Amino acid sequence: MTWFVNYRLDSSVSIADRGLTYGDGVFETIRVIPNTIFQLDDHLSRLYRGLIRLGMPLSDKQKSELVAFLYSTSSTLINEESVVKIIVTRGEGGRGYLPPEKAIHSVIIGILPAPNYQMQQDKGVSLSVSPIPVSNNRFLSGIKHLNRLENVMAKRFLVAPDFEAIMLNEGDELVECIQSNLFWFKKGVIYTPSLEKSGVQGTYRKAIIENQTHYSVQIGHFFLSDIISADEVFITNSLMGVVPVINITTRTGKQSFPIGVHTRKLQISMQAKDPHGVH
């Protein structure tokens, strides 16, 4: 791993940084190969949107500096498929929870090895249902803020052979999985949960919703019974692409699903938009 803090090679931040003390910031994880940064506009849009929501927007100059560094990094430091993680915090200052009037941002960028999801894409994965509920908070919904304790706790409860776990809100509505968004096919229609109250609006989720020519997409409030009765189920994020789901285990038993023609067709169509393939 290689880390930069405020665009200098470094692996440490101040113990008074608000990202550490309060989770006061946002982050992105982006798939990168030499000279190519995938879905950069969507990732940056979500990053900027999150910073605005938290009341610490980047200036145009700061945005330009960040983009220039990312492109420079992709062409000079990356020689294989990698993950670039961007963390932006409010930096130091303020008193207690009250933030400083003007943020002095900490911009932390890491270059990490990319995980390989080829086996999961080909063979499918099993899901369970997490006992950890997702909190409803429309002020934080959609963005990738640094307060991820619900996901950390959910990951602790995840056991093999399950690859992921479905997370419900306190009303038992479907939200997402621990680190991916949730979709299913029913009679040729794609369904996915609304994220207006909680959850992360994934960039790959956005791409699927906005680039459909073969399927209509329904976004709404759904329950476990809706996905259990699906024809095909799949999960997505910007690193794993489209991954079929072959089993979902609930308290009442296990439901199996085929890796169907619609999921395979979607995998192919999304890969066609990505000349280097989706991994």
Provide the CATH number for the domain around residue 242: 3.20.10.10
* Average pLDDT score, the chain: 94
Q: Which residue has tokens 């419900």?
A: 168
- Strands, E, within 197-240: which ranges? 217-220, 232-237
Q: Are 95 and 147 members of one domain?
A: no
CATH of the domain at 27: 3.30.470.10
Helix or strand run (H / E) with residue 70: helix 60-76
Q: Which two tokens stand for residue 244?
A: 């079929």
pLDDT band at 276 (very low <50, low <70, confident <90, very high): very low
Does residue 278 have a pLDDT over 80? Answer: no
pLDDT category at 185 given cuts 50, 70, 90 is: very high
Residue 257 forms part of a structural domain? yes
Report pLDDT for 279. 27
The phi and psi torsions of 69 (rounded to 5 degrees) equal: -65, -40
The residue-averaged pLDDT of 70-96 equals 94
Q: pLDDT band for 59, please (50, 70, 90 cuts).
A: very high
Tokens, residue 222? 């759904």
Interval 159-172: pLDDT, tens: 999 999 999 999 99
Q: What is the pLDDT of residue 275?
A: 42
Collapse the DSSP code of 86 into the 3-class scheme (helix H, G, I; strand E, B; otherwise coil) and give the result.
strand
Domain count for the chain: 2
12 within some domain = yes
Name the residue range of residue 184's domain: 118-272
H or E segment to which residue 9 belongs:
strand 8-9
pTM metric for this prediction: 0.93
Handedness of CA 15, 18, 21, 26 (dihedral sign): negative
Per-residue pLDDT at 277 exceeds 60 = no
Same structural domain for residues 31 and 136? no
Residues 185 and 241 both lie in one domain: yes
Q: What is the reported pLDDT for 274?
A: 63
